[in-house]
Amino acid sequence: MTLISLKALKHRGNLNKGLRWWPEGNYGDHPALGDARWTPDLIMAGWEMAGTGKPPVAVINHQTGASEGGFDRLTFKEGTQKKKGIIDLSLRLNRREPRLDQMRIGLPWYGGGMSYGSVSDQVMAARALAAKSHKTLTCTGEGGYPPSMIPYADHVITQVATGLFGVSEETIQRAPILEFKYAQGAKPGLGGHLLGDKSTSEVAKMRESVPWVSLFSPFPFHSVYSVEDHRKHIDWLRTVNPDALISVKVSTPSDVDMVAVGSYYAGAHIVHLDGSYGGTGAAPEIAKKNIAMPIELAIPKVHKHLKKEGIRDEITLIASGGIRSAMDIAKSIALGADGVVLGTLDLIALGCTRCSNCERGRGCTFGLTTTDPELSLLVREEWGAERISNLYKALATQLENLLRSHGLSSISELRGRIDLLRYQGGSL
């Protein structure tokens, strides 16, 4: 059993004392750190990238987990070329409405919704600052729009979810992209649930609710039961903010391809597929593992159907739900997505160990998924932004190297290139 480098364990710039050597190998040897999908190697690779801004050291398996399925059995064929010149990683989000800005972001990913209440105000601000530095975006989640994010408004997506917590004309008018969250891949059919001990006075004020009382987001929007209803929903937001792009976040049921087509005809610019592997420790295991379709199956299903309908190039397809590495990002795009959304990986950069105790007010000892005023101080906005920014640099370097090895000059050229993939154990 080999040992990884000590610097890989310096995962928090202000908490470098008391480090131990961790052996590389079976995640089951260290049940306190990760699981089959988020192995110790993947977690420590995230810490390493967040600390250095470079790809992880060679002895860390930073590409796959130990789930023996999905992305963990999908690999890229070996690239034999050495493409020179600048590699374009930018992503155009508006493909259908010429009167609006194309909204091109600097990376083929942006930050997914993590609401104020599920994570701390400091974590949200750190993600927004990192998004600004890389010319990409982050999302408020369904808990409202904290004042700390206002300085980064051009890089913040406002989410409108079924609970309508913290939604106002002001927050809608402030955002370049408005995201309807119809369902979440980690808990489709269940809606949201914020336990009372996380609904502090500040959180309750933001959500216009009662402090220390559990909050539920219904499933679904009870005003939307058809494409026509969906269209009226989108028209409502566009009346309030006619210059914003509209993103529709859905889970991945068996008819997700038809859902995507319906969202297109309802007027969406972005269809965001959220697969079953996403979510934090606040999502029930039975929901994460048994209900929604895994994202690696949903992406090609939707991509092919949109092509068949003749509308593929008029809509941006974004994928999320368990994206853990640069290779997962690349695999998602090769399967047919235009880009991805990162959530848990941002928290890994800040020191998350995947202890899955996110639902409790003082359950996160790293000050991430907490609203406790003392624990939240463990994360400073500038420190957190630097960590996430370093992670993004490392991910970008790995993507550029992959594209060069296959003779590609832009991330858009990778879309739908399943010929570059190999499934270990069978054919695609």
pLDDT tens digits, 358-367: 888 888 888 9
Question: Contact, 213 vs 231, CB < 8 A?
Answer: no
In sequence order, what are the beta bridge partners of 109? 340
Closest CA to 91 of 106, 80, 77: 106
pLDDT digit string, tens, across residues 405-419? 999 999 999 999 999
Question: Measured in whole angstroms, how far is the alpha carbon of residue 93 from the centre of its chain?
Answer: 16
12-16: average pLDDT:
38
156-170: average pLDDT:
90
Torsion of CA 264, 265, 269, 274, to 10 degrees: -30
In sequence order, what are the beta bridge partners of 250? 273
pLDDT band at 10, cuts 50/70/90?
very low
Length of the chain in terms of residues written: 428
pLDDT at residue 304 is higher than 50 = yes
pLDDT band at 187, cuts 50/70/90?
low
Torsion of CA 417, 422, 425, 427, to 10 degrees: 40
**Domain 91-423 homologous superfamily, CATH:** Aldolase class I (3.20.20.70)
| pTM reported for the whole predicted model | 0.89
CA atoms of 160 and 168, how far apart (whole Å): 10
pLDDT band at 190, cuts 50/70/90?
low
Give the residue ranges of DSSP H helices in 113-249.
121-133, 169-174, 201-207, 227-240
What is the residue extent of each domain of the chain? 24-76, 91-423
